[in-house]
Every structure is written in structure tokens, then in C-alpha cells.
Amino acid sequence: MSPGGTPVYLRLRELIVAGIIEGAYPEGALLPSVRAFAAEQGANPLTVAKAYQQLQADALVEVQRGVGMFVAPGAAERLRRLERDRFLTQDWPAIRRKLRLLGLSPAELLAES
């Protein structure tokens, strides 16, 4: 487990997910090999393999035997939609409560940025 209590394989999965959403790994792009990503992240290759298996189970990547894993068509849009839903249902209510607690308005927040 990583220091935040999140299993390492999920943290690694989130790095790939962020790369897909941000365009570092566009649709059809070849993901780094398990060994290359493990070396880059200082992780155990078996842990990276578990993260990649989760991506495959979530239909975000496609495997071409002997070639590698590729970002599935529509993966970025699907992930954006899931992240939006998660933000609106989990993150935003807590942020709204904090804004009310602090007496901040949306206009004040926008003026600060």
C-alpha cells in the first residue's frame, strides 16, 4: 500500500488513466511495457501487471498478443464522463459544504484565481 492507504496498483492505474484523459496516451496509443513502466515508476512488475489487468477489465485498453496494450477507442471520453460523475457526486458536495462553512461565494473564488 502507498502512504495514502491506496494500493499501489490502483495508484499506478490512476497514472495511466490520467495520461489517457490528458492525451499523453491517445486512442490507439501503445502503453509502455509492464517492465518499462515498472522501471519508470520504481514499482514491482507484478504490481504494474495488476494495474494493467484492471485497465483491461475496465475495457480501457486492448491487448494485441505479442505486441502490447493499446488505448481502446473512446477510452478518454468514457473516463472523462466517469470522472465528471464522480466529481459531481463525491467531490462537489464536500466542496460546497466547505464554501458555505467559510462564507465564500463563487464570485470570490473566481476573483482569487
3: confidence class by pLDDT, cuts 50, 70, 90: low
What's the CA gap between 19 and 8, in Å, rounded?
Answer: 17
pLDDT at 113 over 70: no
pLDDT at 109 over 70: yes
Please give the model's pTM, rounded to 2 decimal places.
0.79
Question: Residues 62-82: pLDDT tens digits?
Answer: 999 999 999 999 999 999 999
Domains and CATH numbers, the chain: 8-74 (1.10.10.10), 76-112 (no CATH)
E strands, the chain, are 61-64, 68-71
DSSP state of 44: -
